[in-house]
Amino acid sequence: MCRRIREDMSILLFGQKMITVALLLVSFSFYGQLGYSEAQLEFGFYSETCPRAESIVRDVVQQAVTNDPGKAAVLLRLQFHDCFVEGCDGSILIKHDGKDDERFATGNAGVAGFDVIDEAKSELERLCPGVVSCADIVALAARDAIVEAKGPFYEVPTGRRDGRIANVGHATNLPDVQDSINSLKSKFREKGLSDQDLVLLSAGAHTIGTTACFFVIPRLDAQDPTIDPEFFQILRSKCPRGGDVNVRIPLDWDSQFVFDDQILRNIKNGRGVILSDSVLYQDNNMKTIIDSYLETNQSSIKANFAADFTKAMVKMGAIGVKIGVQGEIRRLCNATN
């Protein structure tokens, strides 16, 4: 009798364990199938813990861009450079003594906007200490900067946590203005981004703002045949051989402070300022993508550049995010806790 009871209990306990294991496996499988924004980030993440978080970032960005319209482009590109190294974790903001941090990598030359992020963080720490991550501030600031440049508004999923690592050696494979089209494609694919994302993010980031002659002079000296002859002379007059390499020129010659699709027309017509923009139209697949945003005919409908760009931004903003107990919420954006 006792033996029978022991056997029944063993079967019962074993069955319960198997059910538990099965439920765990189903749970892991379910979450493994979810995308970044579904399983890891969420819209309105701070709605209860810091309800004014997004409005505070927006106000700081709005004031910064009002004072200096060039800040819009700077803040937009800051998120791109952050996400391509260590994921979207605010690692580019960290600054130790010396030049060993990620922000000092060659590929991050010219990246700025740190002061705006620090100002927003300071205000958020005053109202909601230890709640809003620097990584989320970077993502929100990029969105708000686009809006200030008359670009589209889009919801930003939040819930990122801040990384603790910022190593210049980890930023050696950033997309570069001198990259070939195949190299650019490869670097974007490594981050889970498509050829269409490459077009959208490149054009979207370069429809506003400026670049230094330093990045333009090499293709002028090489007599790059893809540059429209008339535009070549304009660029040469601004960036003469042996001239000041720090002179700034617009990336989108016709509307440098307005987010629009003019940059795509420039690229198509040989008026791309930097090489990494110009090579986009030298690839058949990229050419088709660019044309889809510019042309309307009986067999196709003109694609919506602004709408697709926002989707690409949300997708990029989910690269390598840290959530839950990963990372930390920094008290200062330029230093780990």
Just list the catalytic residues: 81
Q: 3-class DSSP state for residue 269?
A: coil
Question: Could you give the angle at the alpha carbon of 161 between the alpha carbons of 117 and 195, nearest 5°?
Answer: 80
Greatest alpha-carbon pair distance for the chain in Å reads 101
* Phi, psi torsion values for 171, nearest 5 degrees: -115, 35
Which residue in this structure is represented by tokens 């029978």? 4
Burial group, residue 286, by CB count within 10 angstroms (0-12, 13-18, 19+)? buried
Q: Are 88 and 138 in contact (CB under 8 A)?
A: yes
* Positions of E strands within the chain: 210-212, 248-250
For residue 190, give the amino acid letter.
E
In the block, which residue shows the tokens 């294991």? 21
